[in-house]
Amino acid sequence: MNSSQQSLLRKLPGVDHVLELWKKSQIAEDIPRVVLVRSIQSALEQLRKRILAEDKALDEAMFSEGQLLHLTQLAVDKAMSYNLKRVVNATGVVIHTNLGRSLLPESVARHVAEITNRYSNLEFDLEKGQRGSRYSCIEGILCEISGAEAAIVVNNNAGAVFLSLETLANGKEVIVSRGELVEIGGSFRIPDVMARSSAKLVEVGTTNRTHLPDYERAIGAETGLLLKAHTSNYKIIGFTAEVSLRELVELAARYRLPVMEDLGSGNFIDLSKYGLMKEPTVQETVSAGVDVVTFSGDKMLGGPQAGIILGKKDIIERIKKNPINRALRIDKMTLSALEATLHLYRDESLAISTIPTLRMLTMPVKEILSKARRLRNRLRKMGNNRMEVVLTKSSSRVGGGALPLQELSTRCVGIRIKGMSANGIEAIMRKTTPPIIGRIENDLFVMDMRTVQDEEIDIISSIFKKILAEE
């Protein structure tokens, strides 16, 4: 350490000194003392590190009252803001697991707020005046929409699959096609879940082709269940064959075995009417005679995180009584959000227009283009000659491990700023308030307008205005 470093370190004020400055300035009134002290410590620690690193830009002026208050204020702002915050999803991935999957419809968010800051009849039967079932509020509507006999909801679909396997196949063999041994993100793999639920996996067929006799040959005294898993995030194409759910149900009936399907995403509306690829709906799966079907609440359904289990009455009863069910149980936030979301499904056009996930998935290119033009015009009006704003054509993705081959034609607003790389712009946008998460395409920072909400056009423009002003 040289002498100027030593002298700077000696002059670095102590925590108490800065605390006094804050008290005098009277801006600290509503900041909790622990936060203030920690922020001051962190500001002083930054200065200390810069001295030790021989930061040439650092001199005694940095210890001025104004600078010390400024540095502390930055640390206070950081400490006082929530870590979980809203972001603008300009990635074009509609069901973006990293960005919170589905947005709740307005009416749903209102209902959640109404239920969660008040008491409710969560487990109270208002008719009888006694303890009621937590699931009674959604079982009826789930059965109404899907045609299933009974329903239960748990924390997420991974939990739903686990609980169903643990109940139905505990210790017994479960037959699955080799083409369906799916791994979805976050270490959820069918074979591993199976092992943990103490079911014994029996693989049949090959990766690309599995036939009905493959299943039949594998059935024996130890068989407990036939399982079909939706290959959500991959497709086997070319020379392929799979056994339909209906055929599997017929086979299982002959041997008095149950059939379960993990639908993964699961939707109540056939979106092929709106130009998307055909996927089996929950209603079709139920009417094929499946004993149990599981799917997520926050993928194509567009509701809260949840794992929905539908099926035959006796089987759902057994699942409800499984003690593990208690460990996977959902709270009133999920229940209120799910019930309100399901209500929207009683009217298909209402569902498509009010559930953000469905609205974004079925949004006509014309509408996306008009949003893109509005943002482009706003940004061009700023008249910054270092910034170039263009419209580009691209593809959005469904996300959530659903419809991996689906191309969704879209329009983006691309940004180029002189003297800055696309990666540089991307990094800056990630740190604004709120952060704007875009993507990089052909060396251009692009914002896919399919997933940018109408009111976010204003937010994005004012953020660019601020950034360009600071430059």
Ligand X SMILES: *Cc1c(COP(=O)(O)O)cnc(C)c1O
Give the footprint of ligand X on this chain (CB under 6 A): 156-158, 161, 182, 184, 188, 229-230, 232, 262, 264-265, 296, 307, 401
The secondary structure of 195-263 as a DSSP string is HHTTPEEEEES-SSB--HHHHHHH--TTEEEEEEE--TT----SS-B---HHHHHHHHHHTT--EEEEE
176 vs 315, beta carbon nearer ligand X = 176
The CA R_g of the chain, rounded to the nearest whole Å, is 28
Asked if residue 332 lies in contact with residue 115, where contact means CB atoms within 8 angstroms, the answer is yes
- The least CB distance from residue 296 to ligand X, in Å, is 3
Q: Among candidates 6, 7, 293, 273, which has minimal Cα distance to 147?
A: 293
190 vs 351, beta carbon nearer ligand X = 190
249 vs 309, beta carbon nearer ligand X = 309
224 vs 401, beta carbon nearer ligand X = 401
Distance (Å, whole) CA 166 – CA 169: 6
267 vs 394, beta carbon nearer ligand X = 267
- The least CB distance from residue 141 to ligand X, in Å, is 20
- The least CB distance from residue 318 to ligand X, in Å, is 21
- The least CB distance from residue 338 to ligand X, in Å, is 13
What is the per-residue burial (b if ≥16 Cβ within 10 Å, else e) of 311-334?
bbeebbeebbebeebeebbbebeb
CB neighbours (10 Å) of residue 77?
11
105 vs 400, beta carbon nearer ligand X = 400
137 vs 263, beta carbon nearer ligand X = 263
- The least CB distance from residue 297 to ligand X, in Å, is 7
Distance (Å, whole) CA 132 – CA 123: 5
192 vs 471, beta carbon nearer ligand X = 192
267 SS3 class:
coil
Q: Is 262 left (phi over 0), alpha (psi -120 to 50) or beta?
A: beta
- The least CB distance from residue 444 to ligand X, in Å, is 31
Q: Which amino acid is at 151?
A: A
306 vs 358, beta carbon nearer ligand X = 306
Asked if residue 402 lies in contact with residue 300, where contact means CB atoms within 8 angstroms, the answer is yes
- The least CB distance from residue 233 to ligand X, in Å, is 7
- The least CB distance from residue 101 to ligand X, in Å, is 8
- The least CB distance from residue 435 to ligand X, in Å, is 23
- Residue 375 CB contacts under 8 Å (≥ 6 apart), including other chains: 413, 447, 449, 452, 457, 460, 461
Q: Among candidates 220, 297, 232, 301, which has minimal Cα distance to 262?
A: 232
Residue nearest to ligand X (CB): 264
Cis peptide before 356 (omega within 30 of 0): no
- Tell me whether strands 188-189 and 183-184 are parallel, antiparallel or unpaired: antiparallel
